[in-house]
A and B are shown apart, each in its own frame.
With several copies, the nearest count.
Chain A
């Protein structure tokens, strides 16, 4: 393609924030498709509309997902963009990479794709952005050779992801990286071979700060918590007080009034039974307050974005479960498998699990999946009296 002017995109090379236009231009130097992308994008900026068509079904052997097919609607003018598919690589837990690993991806992508990528996609995959249909299998073969595997796409399990957790965070209540790795490995079939009503996502956050936004962005959120009391170090409380921290103010932020400070004695105490483990006080005073010793996770189900029935946030279905030993993982896998099976049986096409439960009712879901109903599952009980009574509780 001949060099054309791209005045609008050029403007986006100004300013202090690193520019994606500069990135496309760097790729364009070495790659014809990237060069065409630059011009196609300039055209989109002029016309205020995208120029991509629906993806057809493209993929790699043995998998149903992992690739998003993409075709330009102006193939004559942008021949290198006629097909411009993306490949999703399942990223390592916590998005930790050795530079070796990253360079291996680069080398393959340099030879076989546009040279552009997203680090990372919103679900957490490393996205190789733009290649042709014939390159898909070789790319996968070579990636595979180097130990990489593809991520999810279509109506399958999407690549699970996790927060940095114990690798770098003092708040982690379980090993998010290991849980994510272990569980992802178990569900490789679900991840690579779409077979459900719709997509399903899992995200692992080490504590209620929820740094993966799991409650909003995953059908199944695994959020770290503890079962005993948070732990207060009286010496560090005094240090904070000495440093001028307004500890009373920290207590005022406690949503349950569980945290009490005695300014005279500089003693901080907690009513463990009242604490909801919201993380607020721990966030404010990490040297003095830490999660309890009996740690595990809360499981929430149903999170997703807007399409179709409105955005949903996940809701509690298991208030606490241990997340340490292999047997704990097994228990989790057992629960989530039952849930998927129930959804597979009851869900409509393009209906996320949260929507299916909403449509059919939580109590049906709980009964059929075999989870006990507990008050922690709801903010408050029903306001209507429309209870369904099972036949066996009725007099004949």
Chain B
């Protein structure tokens, strides 16, 4: 029988000696090259963290491979970052370059530090979830292949944090990212009355719809959807498999930009929609990679040093963002949900655009 409630592994037994010795004593850091952080301790100790990109969806072979490297170069320890990169903690400067070479040998790029694009926080997609409007890993692979140079180099105005979520549940937490790729459905749920009749609590299903589009259908002992009111959030489908929301013809991707979470200089901001829809085009989603590259490079070419995507846009004005990127503005980008009012321009000062 399993021991219940023993809690996670104790981190203390999973940190390398150099961290045990310098825990809480770090004085400053430098970034000697992309993907390498050098932290210097008050004790004088120096720690090199080598950050390697990961596909996140990995095999046992992968895990064992990186364990082998960690044994060889890092006293048998490693860590993962909040963005699912792997970090190798090297206490001996001489091992840095050999480790980077060894990582290269197993196909892992080193980068993602400082003014670069780090790994894309992402989700399950077609690999494992039941509501996706797009794939996750495939789009990430396509985008990261395309923007690879910005991972292994630090040539951007600031860090660029991307996220991908394959449906509006937004497990990728795309809502506060510099650039977010979000799977969207575009058609109302198709109702499978048989499935719904099987043990559905109709009032809860009706109540779950944020726009009040769902009404009871007593005749069918099921529900109906007022299609004009539905905005395809999929909440009803999460509640009930009888509200089939996936529509391969019409599912696809929206792009949001300008979010952030750090408090440095400016307060955290939400990402905002700039492209409402791009059709799924596997395996490489070329329209998506192109749209992303366009936004990234327009920002890179125009922002000031240290200016994050959202800070740049807020400085020049969103109207100028559309002009600079050439992205088409449309009424779909104008909010019409609960907090819409706060997005309307309640002032006569704005810039003209071509």
Contacts and interface: CB of A to CB of B under 8 A. Distances in A.
Contacts of B251: 48-49
Interface string A71-97: 000000000000010100011111111
A245 interface: no
A122 B123 contact: yes
A229 to B, nearest CB: 11
B128 A52 contact: yes
A392 interface: no
B262 A209 contact: yes
Interface in B224-255: 231-235, 238-239, 241, 246-251, 254
B344 A215 contact: no
A217 B163 CA distance: 12
Given A54-B130, A181-B10, A208 B262 contact: yes
Contacts of B76: 98-100
A375 B322 contact: yes
A321 interface: no
Nearest to A138: B2
B94 interface: no
Given A168-B19, A208-B262, A216-B175, A306 B170 contact: yes
A103 interface: yes
Interface string A25-49: 0110010001001000100110111
B318 to A, nearest CB: 5
Contact of A115 (B11, B28, B59, B176): B59
A362 B2 contact: no
A147 B13 CA distance: 11
Given A166-B24, A216-B268, A389-B186, A45 B335 contact: no
Interface stretch (A262-270, A312-320, A329-337, A339-347): A312-320
B218 interface: no
B89 to A, nearest CB: 7
Contacts of A167: 11, 15, 19, 23
A94 B254 CA distance: 32
B221 to A, nearest CB: 20
Interface string B250-284: 11001010110111111010111110110010111
B interface residue count range (under 10 / 10 to 19 / 20 to 34 / 35 or more): 35 or more
B2 A98 contact: no
**B contact patch SS:** loop
A383 B349 contact: no
A119 B7 contact: no
A12 B137 CA distance: 10
Contact of B5 (A105, A149, A175): A149
A57 to B, nearest CB: 12
Interface in B16-47: 19, 23-24, 26-29, 39, 47
B189 interface: no
Contacts of B28: 170, 286-287
Contact of B264 (A140, A163, A209): A209
Contact of A387 (B67, B234, B273): B273
Which one of A14, A256, A274, A381 has the greatest number of beta carbons of chain B within 10 Å?
A381
A115 B60 contact: yes
A366 interface: yes
Interface in B62-86: 62-64, 67-68, 70-71, 76-82, 84, 86
Contacts of B342: 379
A374 B172 contact: no
B208 A101 contact: no
A378 B246 CA distance: 31
A192 B130 contact: no
Contacts of B64: 103, 106
B350 to A, nearest CB: 5
Which one of A20, A47, A92, A164 has the greatest number of beta carbons of chain B within 10 Å?
A20
A278 interface: yes
B336 A362 contact: yes
A17 to B, nearest CB: 4
A383 B271 contact: yes
B153 interface: no
Nearest to A221: B348
A212 interface: yes
A274 B351 contact: yes
Contact of A363 (B314, B318, B336, B352): B336
Given A181-B10, A211-B82, A316 B263 contact: no
A210 B9 contact: no
A47 B251 CA distance: 11
Nearest to A175: B24
Contacts of B186: 387, 389, 394
A308 B249 CA distance: 25
B127 interface: yes
Interface in A115-149: 115-120, 122, 124, 129-130, 137, 140-141, 143-145, 147-149
Contacts of A175: 24
Contact of B345 (A14, A96, A159, A377): A377
Nearest to A258: B351
B8 interface: yes
B311 to A, nearest CB: 10
B116 interface: no
Contacts of A328: none
Nearest to A54: B241
A364 interface: yes
Given A23-B55, A50-B126, A307 B346 contact: no
A236 to B, nearest CB: 9
A255 interface: yes
B298 interface: no
B84 to A, nearest CB: 6
A181 to B, nearest CB: 6
Interface string B52-64: 0111111111111
Contacts of A358: 340-341
Contact of A278 (B89, B123, B265): B265
Given A286-B28, A287-B27, A395-B250, A380 B8 contact: no
B345 A93 contact: no
16 contacts: A12-B142, A23-B57, A24-B57, A97-B79, A101-B9, A122-B171, A141-B1, A161-B82, A188-B4, A378-B318, A380-B258, A381-B333, A383-B175, A383-B273, A386-B232, A394-B250
**Which 9 residue pairs across A and B have the least CB separation, nearest first?**
A361-B336, A15-B145, A144-B2, A315-B344, A382-B335, A363-B331, A313-B346, A188-B5, A311-B175
Given A34-B59, A209-B262, A381-B335, 20 more contacts: A24-B59, A26-B59, A44-B135, A45-B126, A45-B135, A97-B14, A99-B76, A99-B78, A109-B60, A122-B171, A149-B8, A208-B349, A213-B173, A216-B176, A300-B348, A308-B233, A316-B345, A320-B352, A362-B331, A382-B343
